[in-house]
Amino acid sequence: MTTCSPQLAFDELGTPLRDVTFCVLDLETTGGSHRTDAITEVGAVLVRGGQRIGELSTLVDPGARIPADITRLTGITNGMLAGAPPLGAVLPSVLDLLQGSVLVAHNAPFDTGFLRAACERHERPWPTPPILCTARLARAVLPRSECPSVRLGALAEHFGCTTTPDHRALTDARATVEVLHHLLERIGNLGVQSLEELVALVKDRAPHRPTTAQRQRRHLANGVPSAPGVYLFRGGGDEVLYVGTSGDLHRRVRSYFTAGERRRRVRDMVAQAERVDTVVCAHALEASVRELRLIAAHRPRYNRRSRNPGRSWWVAPTAEAFPRLSVVSTPREGALGPFTSRSAATEVLDAALEAVPLRRCTIRIPARRPSATPCALHELGRCAAPCAGLQPPDDYAPAVDSWLDLVAGRDDAPLRTLAAAVDTRSADGRYESAARVRDRLAALASGVDRAGTLAGLASLEEVVGARPDGSGGWELAVLRYGRLAAAGNAPRGVRPMPVVEALRAGAQTVLPGPGPLRGAPPEEVRLLYRWLTGGGTRLVYSTPSWAEPAHGAGPWRAWAERAREASHRTGDHAPDEPARTV
């Protein structure tokens, strides 16, 4: 089956330096700040692949006299500027050179400051080219012991350039071109081969250099394909150290051995790496799923996610005569989740107890002859005291059924109960209390809605989705019981349906397991749900039909989001408008 790579993200594309057009520019001015002084001369040289492809040189009438000390420095006199074009006539030609180019200058902030100010005064849009300062590049590449000064004249002398800077725009621009080429020859030893890596090398005040271990292991990127997929750094004993994904495996793996990689933890990992394995994938979704599975299987010590891979929390009723709600890590019948943290699950549990009359105590109550003493909650009218035998199991059962109906999407009565409480407390002027109930309702509604959508997807025997790949083709995925069973591509010009049928025929067989998610890993179900519901994905097949409960929390989704936004905007105790019953 023919496949094609998906469109890569900008930070993964990388532009080889041989393909970059550099506009090396120098300005002469009347001196001082760009806010008060003017440009007197412009010199620019266009270079690409080490070859000069164009030049621009012109004097500029600044509309003011040149100070004597500037004349002594540059040799430009007031008489030389008589009849020179004004900046407004020169600026369009300069901006044209910058289109599609990288602006290079020695002490670039000086030159770009004048050009930006000129654009503002003449109402011209600034083209926002990438900017490279050769002074900062020199400091990043050359140790001070080799070249104490990074002045243009000092660098030109250090490299033995044929052009000597003389404070004239074109001459200095030509000298900067030679310095740039000498510096580019040096950065190969630092593993810098693309424009993005070059910019990353000089953007910090204290540039980092690749460690010896990084340079020595640069060969590990050899043979890595330029395709989307998953990469695994392996150390001694075949240990998996780190797992990651990329739209271009070769470019991403190579970046670990360059100056662009500055994370100390990752540098330590690279120092221990002995080889890099890769798994080529059809598209980003398959790569992300495989990454999750590999991290769960190997628990690499340099992946932060591997500390608790697949760990989720659920709110579930206990298995006893008078069930109560508890936070558990393993789902069971009637469980609500998954939640990514125990605190999030506890927040939903507290909200549920505001709406469902389940007991709050943690003691185990026998079905026959309970004899505990009623607690304070009974005196406050918030518990019927089954612990003391004051509430038989049959009278307690409707509360359990209310919870089960809420989780299953059969009845949203608990949500309506909380909404009514918000209305009542707001009408009574108890705004702080109303805000607390509002936030608990938002947490419970969001949790129930999320759980229902994920459980609905995980219950489907088979789902096939197709997403545009950005090049006229399709990224295809076959899902079974909340797991990715097959992935592929139908490039532009290839009929997608035969590809879909081939994927379905060869897809992995998935047997459903227990629990709301049928045994599927929660992170994988979340990932698949986001892919199916975003990015223009189309539903090709669904067996059975994909649907959500008619009485679930779906209608509360927008309300919960607005309530959350109001909470963040006004604070937990701010007054709030009464909630509206959905």
Q: Are 21 and 4 in contact (CB under 8 A)?
A: no
Q: Are 69 and 31 in contact (CB under 8 A)?
A: yes
Q: How confident is the model at residue 389 (pLDDT cuts 50, 70, 90)?
A: confident
Report the run of H or E that residue 561 belongs to, with start and end.
helix 557-570
Distance of CA 554 to the CA centre of its chain: 27
Calculate what percentage of the chain has a pLDDT beyond 90: 50
Q: Encoding tokens for residue 306?
A: 């591997």
Residue 330 per-residue DSSP state: S
553 or 565, greater pLDDT:
553
Report the run of H or E that residue 569 belongs to, with start and end.
helix 557-570
Q: Are 451 and 527 in contact (CB under 8 A)?
A: no
CA distance 443 to 89: 62
In this structure, of 163-167, 185-189, 285-289, 442-446, the range with the lowest mean pLDDT score is 185-189
Q: What are the pLDDT digits (tens) for 85-98?
A: 999 999 999 999 99
* Neighbouring-strand partners of residue 140: none
* Contacts by 260-264, CB closer than 8 A, 24 or more apart: 260/192, 260/196, 260/197, 260/200, 260/201, 261/210, 261/214, 262/208
375 or 347, greater pLDDT:
347
The mean pLDDT of 79-108, rounded to a whole number, is 92
Q: How confident is the model at residue 368 (pLDDT cuts 50, 70, 90)?
A: confident
Supply the pLDDT for residue 579: 40
Fold for the domain defined by 212-307? GIY-YIG endonuclease (3.40.1440)
Rounded alpha-carbon distances, angstroms, from residue 253 to 7, 12, 201, 209: 18, 11, 17, 17
Report the run of H or E that residue 389 belongs to, with start and end.
none
Q: 244, 243, 231, 221: which is closest to 280 by C-alpha?
A: 231
Supply the pLDDT for residue 260: 66
Supply the pLDDT for residue 114: 92
Average pLDDT, the chain: 86
- DSSP line for 258-310: STT---HHHHHHHHH--EEEEEE-SSHHHHHHHHHHHHHHH--TT-GGGGSTT
Query: Who's near 389: CB < 8 A, 6+ residues apart?
Result: 369, 370, 371
Report the relative pairing of strands 131-133 and 102-105 from DSSP bridges: parallel
Q: Which amino acid is at 367?
A: A
Residue 569 has pLDDT above 70, yes or no: no
Q: How confident is the model at residue 574 (pLDDT cuts 50, 70, 90)?
A: very low
332 or 5, greater pLDDT:
332
The mean pLDDT of 550-570, rounded to a whole number, is 67
* Contacts by 486-494, CB closer than 8 A, 24 or more apart: 487/281, 487/282, 487/283, 487/285, 487/286, 488/1, 488/3, 488/282, 489/1, 489/2, 489/3, 489/4, 489/282, 489/283, 490/466, 491/2, 491/3, 491/4, 492/4, 494/2
Residue 577 has pLDDT above 50, yes or no: no
Supply the pLDDT for residue 233: 96
Q: 192, 267, 311, 285: which is closest to 230 by C-alpha?
A: 285
Residue 578 has pLDDT above 90, yes or no: no
Q: What are the pLDDT digits (tens) for 439-497?
A: 888 889 888 988 999 999 999 999 999 999 999 999 999 999 999 999 999 999 999 99
Residue 275 has pLDDT above 90, yes or no: yes
Supply the pLDDT for residue 371: 66
Q: Encoding tokens for residue 291?
A: 């990454």
Distance of CA 467 to the CA centre of its chain: 20
CB burial string 183-203: b at 16+ within 10 A, e below: bbeebeebbbbbbbbbbbbbe
Supply the pLDDT for residue 564: 62
Task: Please state whether the predicted TM-score (pTM) of the whole model is above 0.85.
Answer: no
Residue 10 has pLDDT above 70, yes or no: no
3-class secondary-structure state, position 378: helix
The mean pLDDT of 78-107, rounded to a whole number, is 92
Report the run of H or E that residue 174 belongs to, with start and end.
helix 169-187
Evaluate the CA torsion angle 505, 507, 511, 514 in order and state its sign.
Answer: negative
213 or 112, greater pLDDT:
112
Q: What are the pLDDT digits (tens) for 123-166?
A: 899 999 999 999 999 988 888 888 899 999 999 999 999 999 99
The mean pLDDT of 230-242, rounded to a whole number, is 95
Q: Are 570 and 431 in contact (CB under 8 A)?
A: no
The mean pLDDT of 163-173, rounded to a whole number, is 94
Q: Encoding tokens for residue 79?
A: 């008489």
Q: How many CB atoms lie within 10 A of CB 86?
A: 13
Residue 357 has pLDDT above 60, yes or no: yes
Supply the pLDDT for residue 349: 93
Q: How confident is the model at residue 404 (pLDDT cuts 50, 70, 90)?
A: very high
Most confident of 370-384, 435-449, 475-489, 541-555: 475-489
Q: Which CATH superfamily is domain 11-202 in?
A: Ribonuclease H-like superfamily/Ribonuclease H (3.30.420.10)
Q: How confident is the model at residue 2 (pLDDT cuts 50, 70, 90)?
A: very low
Q: What are the pLDDT digits (tens) for 416-431?
A: 888 888 889 888 888 8
Residue 9 has pLDDT above 50, yes or no: no
Calculate what percentage of the chain has a pLDDT beyond 70: 88
The mean pLDDT of 62-76, rounded to a whole number, is 89
Q: 490, 485, 491, 520: which is closest to 504 by C-alpha?
A: 485
Q: Which amino acid is at 524?
A: E
The mean pLDDT of 16-27, rounded to a whole number, is 92
Supply the pLDDT for residue 12: 38
Supply the pLDDT for residue 262: 72
Torsion on CA atoms 271, 275, 277, 278, rounded to nearest 10: 60
Q: Are 147 and 154 in contact (CB under 8 A)?
A: yes
Supply the pLDDT for residue 37: 64
Supply the pLDDT for residue 31: 82
Supply the pLDDT for residue 46: 95
Supply the pLDDT for residue 520: 93
Residue 14 has pLDDT above 70, yes or no: no
Residue with tokens 């599609």: 100
2 or 123, greater pLDDT:
123
3-class secondary-structure state, position 515: coil
Domain ranges of the chain: 11-202, 212-307, 318-327+340-400, 461-543
